[in-house]
Amino acid sequence: MASISGICSSSPTLNHQNHSTPKRRRTPLPSFPSRPKLFPPRSLAHEAPAQLSSITKPHHGGLEKDSRTLWRRYVEWLYQHKELGLYLDVSRVGFTDEFVREMEPRFQAALRAMEDLEKGAIANPDEGRMVGHYWLRDSSRAPTAFLKTQIDNTLDAICSFANDVVSGKIKPPSSPEGRFTQILSVGIGGSALGPQFVAEALAPDNPPLKIRFIDNTDPAGIDHQIAQLGPELASTLVLVISKSGGTPETRNGLLEVQKAFREAGLNFPKQGVAITQENSLLDNTARIEGWLARFPMFDWVGGRTSEMSAVGLLPAALQTIDIREMLAGAALMDEANRSTVIRNNPAALLALCWYWATDGVGSKDMVILPYKDSLLLFSRYLQQLVMESLGKEFDLDGNRVNQGISVYGNKGSTDQHAYIQQLREGVHNFFVTFIEVLRDRPPGHDWELEPGVTCGDYLFGMLQGTRSALYANNRESLTVTVQEVNPRSVGALIALYERAVGIYASIININAYHQPGVEAGKKAAGEVLALQKRVLAVLNEASCKEPVEPLTLEEVADRCHAPEDIEMIYKIIAHMAANDRALIAEGNCGSPRSIKVFLGECNLDELYA
């Protein structure tokens, strides 16, 4: 049985007295008259970002290649958080001193805005909301006592519930094991990506409860998860996670899982947990149906920054991941990111490099390359955090900017056998962020597969070799180094990127905390389903005729009063026919007929042969 003491062992508040202010190590270097200019300075427009794209970045004919100069730059700019053991190396990004000087005022303004945000300002003006994910790891910073109490009580409830489940005190009503052995998480976007990343990074090899995810409305994917659970459905704790409580994919997943419970003769509410905003559709459903537990999400926590809320903390705690250590790591990183000195503020340093590398307009992609299997999902997690925050059509002044930075990557050295070829020699449309983990194996577990060389040495060599090879061909990179993958370092990494995105968003003058674009997609999906209902009604009516009245595609479109949607109508019919959807004929006109009767008339091969 897993030790339950490890879940929420340490004291609830941060041990502030040993918080060491991050120090920059200065190796005394031979003095030289002035720092070598790595690039001709480039003027930076201070106008609205709309003009930013007019900047013509000086052709990077070549980055500085002298090794002694690079060593000096490495030492000069290396950020170290001694207590976290986290380093940030920006030396392989070629920004100039002039660039840093020119950006200083904008960074000071961004850091002031971040300070206001943490004090409870309406930092999400489009939705009129505060932005409070930083309060989740240091509730003393919440702007009101009420919010602080909510945060603390929720954390205590999470720890208590998780301890009771893991210990078997809370158990499923009827399961051979007599305890919960599985977690089925149903959620999407920020209600899945954080829990998935953290599970992959931190779950023990044999956790007391193994987690799996339904994060889509794909029937086959849902069937696969339920089939893999098999009889263990009876000992599965189902977490239904949705901040809004109304996301269609999550709702569909819930309905499908509840159907599986019915068919297995199981009582879903006794194994269901809801994590959602209070009084949401999901919350009310869970309350009325008497689910096992409900945990709140707060409107001032966005989906993509919810890993330190119940969304991420409950699934992690149920896997015996030490969530208070995650929170502590994030809090230490938050503290470092409040420095007003750019070079002592790792999040500001990241944002500075992102701006330089992408001209402040996203001209290059962000390739995330953790050289550690357990961090495989970090890039998927960052895709939402970075792209849903920065990918915006308008800035805060209404200028059309079409901003953003594209993110991709998986893990090294594996990706060296996939796309690094293009990075090394091909189109130069990216910069790389290496995530380096110094410890290869737990102490005493290392093994030399050849004299003096371990597997981890190869991984280290591959990372360093790739960094050098890319830089030799003028490809810029950052390196974030942690000692090992543990709750504290994962918490710190999450906090580092949450803050860097927030600072960068201020620099480019956009709202990082709303997502208007996704509503458009949801609306369009609703229109397709509404059209499908009209198509079915038309075909049902026609199928009542004896003999069946075959309709042409045009006739179906006309009867749907949607002649302009003829292509979508064809796709709808083709999809339904591929799934053998029968027409449930209205009234009592015979047995249901296959929709294929109509597809014949609508077959493109015949129609437009």
Ligand X SMILES: O=P(O)(O)OC[C@H]1O[C@H](O)[C@H](O)[C@@H](O)[C@@H]1O
**Residues in CB range of 343: below 8 A, 6 or more apart:** 24, 77, 79, 349
Q: Least distance (Å) from ligand X to the CB of residue 519?
A: 8
Would you tell me how many other CB atoms lie within 10 Å of the CB of residue 23? 10
Residues β-bridged to residue 69: none
Q: Is 522 known to be catalytic?
A: yes
The token duo for 164 is 């009771």
Residue tagged active-site, from 46, 57, 522, 533: 522
Residue tagged active-site, from 200, 249, 388, 476: 388
Residue tagged active-site, from 417, 445, 523, 561: 417
**What's the CA gap between 548 and 541, in Å, rounded?**
10
Comparing CB distances to ligand X, the nearer of 385 and 480 is 385
Q: Least distance (Å) from ligand X to the CB of residue 580?
A: 31
Give phi and psi for 482, each to the nearest 5: -125, 160
Comparing CB distances to ligand X, the nearer of 218 and 397 is 218
Comparing CB distances to ligand X, the nearer of 163 and 225 is 225
**Residues in CB range of 62: below 8 A, 6 or more apart:** 474
Comparing CB distances to ligand X, the nearer of 301 and 478 is 301
Distance set, CA 69 to CA 91, 241, 546 (Å): 10, 51, 87
Contact 395, 509 (CB under 8 A): yes
The token duo for 292 is 């096992």
The token duo for 464 is 């360093």
Task: Give the relative orientation of helices 487-507 and 346-358 as an angle to the nearest 10 degrees.
Answer: 50
Q: Least distance (Å) from ligand X to the CB of residue 267?
A: 25
- The helix/strand/coil state of 95 is coil
Strands in 76-226 per DSSP E: 79-81, 86-89, 182-186, 210-214
**Residues in CB range of 112: below 8 A, 6 or more apart:** none
Strands in 142-206 per DSSP E: 182-186
Comparing CB distances to ligand X, the nearer of 80 and 515 is 515
Note the residues at the interface with ligand X (CB under 6 A). 188-191, 242-244, 247, 250, 303-304, 388, 515, 518
Comparing CB distances to ligand X, the nearer of 306 and 486 is 306
Q: Least distance (Å) from ligand X to the CB of residue 402?
A: 18
394 DSSP assignment: B
- The helix/strand/coil state of 426 is coil
Comparing CB distances to ligand X, the nearer of 151 and 188 is 188
Contact 475, 431 (CB under 8 A): yes
The token duo for 102 is 């020119």
The token duo for 47 is 């106008």
Comparing CB distances to ligand X, the nearer of 381 and 430 is 381
Q: Is 417 known to be catalytic?
A: yes
Q: Least distance (Å) from ligand X to the CB of residue 187?
A: 6
**What's the CA gap between 474 and 63, in Å, rounded?**
6
Q: Least distance (Å) from ligand X to the CB of residue 242?
A: 3
The token duo for 556 is 């179906």
**What's the CA gap between 69 and 66, in Å, rounded?**
5
Q: Least distance (Å) from ligand X to the CB of residue 301?
A: 10
Comparing CB distances to ligand X, the nearer of 111 and 188 is 188
The token duo for 130 is 């505060």
Task: Give the relative orientation of helices 323-336 and 487-507 as an angle to the nearest 10 degrees.
Answer: 40
Catalytic positions, please? 388, 417, 522
